[in-house]
Structures are given as C-alpha cells and as structure tokens.
Amino acid sequence: MSAKKGGKGIGGTAGKGSSGRGARDLRVKVKTARGRKLSSTLWLERQLNDPYVKRARAEGFRGRAAFKILELDEKFNFLVPGARIVDLGCAPGGWCQVAVPRVNALGEMSGKPVGTVLGVDLQEVEPIAGAEIHQLDFLEDGADDKVKAWLGGRADVVMSDMAAASSGHKQTDHLRIVALCEAAAELAFDVLEEGGTFVAKVLAGGAENALQAKLKRAFRKVVNVKPPASRADSSEKFVVAQGFRGRPE
C-alpha cells in the first residue's frame, strides 16, 4: 500500500526545514476513519512504518515473518543444501520461500545436494516454486505417515510459525499456542531423522515449561530465541531444538 502525503486518511508529518533538528519526519500517520476501530488504525500504522514489511515487499516475500526464519537460520544453520524440510501451517508461504534456495530445492547450486521443502496447511496456499504444498490438518490420524510418504523418508527439519486466532485474552492465547506447539512437536517426534531440528513459535507465559522439558529429553540442544524480526512488543519467542535423539519416554 502506498501512502500519499496529504491524502484522505493517510498523510505525512512535515518537518520544520532542512537543517538537523528540523529534519523531515517520514513516519506515516494514519487517521481513524469512520467505522474503523482504533485497533485497526494502529495496526495499519504499524504495518506502514514497519521496516520488515517494507523489506518483504521489496524482496518478494509473502510476509515479514520470512525474516524470522531467515534470522534463526543465520544463527543456527539448519537450512542446508540437501535438507528435507517440513513447514507446518505454512500459509502464506514466507518460510517456504526462505527455505527453497537455502536447501537447494531447485537445484540451482552446482555441486550441492538438492533438498526438499514440504509445506502443509489447513487452507489452500498459492504455489511456490521449489516447494511442494499440501492442504492437510496435521492433527488428523495418519498425518505423520502422509508427510513421510510425500518426503520419501524422514525430515531433517520440522518448523512451525503457527499461532491460534487471537481471543483477546493473553493467557488463553498463550495456552492455545503452546498446545499447537506441543502438537507440532509430537509430529516432529514421528517424522524427524536422527540429529534433526525442530523450530516453533511459542508465547512466553509459563505454560511452555512442560514442552521445554519434553524437548530437552528428545534433543541434545534446546534454546529459546527472540529474533530481531520479532516485534519488541510481542511476547512471541522461538524454541530451536537440535540433535534429535528419538521420541522421549
């Protein structure tokens, strides 16, 4: 969306001149239109001024969340050429977009093994070059067998940026997203190769302690990270579990 200075509803804030303190303020301000909630106006203003939103548009990613997995991979290096990746709840597809070139899913890196990117989601997702997308409820019986069949084996990485629809109640939302993360972990236990990696979003709040304990029994290394692309005012964090040892007892 482009913002026109002085346009109806969206406008720029003029500075006082061209010298230091009078430097132009380029932050976009959004007025609350009739019939639109203040929360919607604040969300729109945040989107218009978010540097990651602007970068995503400029670099062709489907959302700012792409930079979260990119930054996590820069730190932990799990999206490597030849890796088989499962992206749970992959819509709109930004994480798959990041994974495709990094695992060499299109075979564009000469001399490097070709990887696989498999995305699954409840809703239909627009195709992504180099990724195989399936409409699937990963909670249904037999979902793990379908995933392994589509991959032609086990996965090296299971990753999830899923979040339950917000209820407006912080603790309820925390419990819901932890439940999703636990379900994603259960599927990861069934489909991961030995030594594999599990990456998932959680919300800080306390209920994730049992999940952390289970992951520490199943993986050699478990850390919690808040990547730079994660908004400072968000309670989200990401758990990165590496070195899969097998399903915990």
Residue ranges of the annotated binding site for S-adenosyl-L-methionine are 93, 95, 121, 137, 161
Identity of residue 239: V
Judge if the upstream peptide bond of residue 92 is cis by omega within 30 degrees of 0: yes
Position 148, amino acid: K
SS3 240: strand
Does residue 201 have an active-site annotation?
yes
240 with 216: CB under 8 angstroms? no
Which residue in 8, 31, 112, 201 is the catalytic one? Answer: 201
CB-based burial label for 96 (10 Å; 0-12, 13-18, 19+): buried
Going by the annotation, the residues of the binding site are 93, 95, 121, 137, 161
Instruction: Please state, in angstroms and as integers, the Cα–Cα distance from residue 78 to each residue in 2, 98, 99, 101, 244, following that order.
Output: 36, 12, 10, 13, 13
Alpha-carbon gap, residue 236 to 24, rounded angstroms: 33
Please provide the DSSP assignment of 64-88 as one string: TTHHHHHHHHHHH----TT-EEEEE
- Catalytic residues, by residue number, are 201
